[in-house]
A = this chain, B = another copy of it.
């Protein structure tokens, strides 16, 4: 029997009417001949309520108890979804993490999968059940305690089940109808992509597109799980949404697939740092220890000596999320005070944004960067920092030009038009 995994997020199961709507989508797949594993989130708002109680009770809470409390939201949805399916004459039952059992590490609140044994659920399919409704976001540790997976855990649960059960596809139902060439709020020329490669989706997710959680895309890529993102609030069929898949499945790929942006970036520059082997590690080690997520890094090698500096010096520029600036600053000042690094000044520019173009076609096409810089120059947008990967070019620019830059790049790469 072919098998599908279908995942419904919090807004898709926010109340009984929406659970019914989601169940109807499940029933249609069963009627098409699939066995279905449904992964559910907590009804929207419920997890926040539970987290609020935990934090109010104990600011430095025991993560094992946090997990025991917070996981209950998904259990409720799983039972209600199973009941709703039964009402529609679909043989279904709910599964809590420990009943599968979904085996995870003991890293409470951010556990990782160890194994998802198929035996228990397979036995129920063999008995005639058509749907297994699994509480997402949770598992059980080797010690028998309940664990949760952290942010986006239900997406990750869905992909992990799709991999474990060799599902034909993993459908992620959410409140958007797919992945777009860019944010439709920025330009109405944004176009929904019928397909996108795992690598592109990963870059877009890490660049701030909120559709899928990075970890779930990584997992899908590793196990080659075909992921589909589609809307729970629209009528959907086998062509709806966006398929995230291996690039081999994408017949005609444009050089650039999408333009992403991130508003909450800050640029920090250590001015005239003493340059010596190991200086990068002396800078970024303390930042990592302080929990600062450094994104772009640019180093300008200086060729001459400056006054007051015995050896070579350099400027080191990096970008961090705006809300981590204070922490980053303190880490640098502490490192200077401890004598681990030596710099003249630390400049902070919190008025920047990051704009990126992403596309697997870049690998085989030259001139993408040149075209990008030309498009920005034509709009008089000054580029402050540039960083590139194999399938991505990102620039930091003044925040006030962000929308303009996104629109200009979307036009320059003709993303409103389908095809190669």
Q: Using CB atoms and an 8 Å cutoff, list the residues of chain A in contact with chain B.
A: 16, 19, 50, 53-54, 56-58, 61-62, 64-66, 68-69, 72-73, 75-76, 78-80, 82-84, 86-87, 93-94, 96, 98-99, 144-146
Contacts and interface: CB of A to CB of B under 8 A. Distances in A.
Contact of A58 (B61, B62, B84): B84
Given A57-B16, A96-B146, A69 B80 contact: yes
Contacts of A56: 16
Contact of A54 (B54, B64, B79): B79
Contact of A65 (B53, B69, B83, B144): B83
Given A65-B93, A80-B69, A58 B75 contact: no
Which label, helix, strand, loop or mixed, suits the secondary structure of the A interface? helix
Contacts of A75: 68-69, 72, 75
Contacts of A58: 83-84, 86-87
A416 B79 CA distance: 51
Contacts of A61: 83
Contacts of A93: 62, 64-65
Contacts of A79: 54, 65-66, 68-69
A367 to B, nearest CB: 57
Nearest to A75: B72
Given A66-B83, A72-B75, 18 more contacts: A54-B80, A54-B83, A57-B83, A58-B87, A62-B83, A62-B86, A62-B93, A65-B79, A65-B80, A65-B83, A66-B79, A68-B75, A68-B78, A68-B79, A68-B94, A69-B79, A69-B83, A99-B145
B50 A65 contact: no
For the complex of A and B, list the 9 residue pairs with the smallest distance between their C-beta atoms, beginning with the closest. Answer: A69-B79, A72-B72, A68-B79, A58-B83, A65-B79, A57-B83, A65-B83, A65-B82, A58-B87
B80 A57 contact: yes
A84 B55 CA distance: 11
A62 B79 CA distance: 10
21 contacts: A16-B56, A19-B57, A53-B76, A54-B83, A57-B87, A58-B86, A62-B86, A62-B93, A65-B80, A65-B83, A66-B79, A68-B75, A68-B94, A69-B75, A69-B79, A69-B83, A72-B72, A72-B75, A72-B76, A98-B98, A99-B145
Nearest to A101: B144
A76 B50 contact: yes
B53 A16 contact: yes
A27 to B, nearest CB: 15
Contacts of A16: 53, 56-57
B65 A94 contact: yes
A65 B58 CA distance: 32
Contacts of A66: 79, 83
Contacts of A54: 79-80, 83
Contacts of A86: 58, 62, 65
Contacts of A64: 93
Contacts of A146: 96
A99 B53 contact: no
Contacts of A99: 144-145
A87 B62 CA distance: 10
A148 B79 CA distance: 14
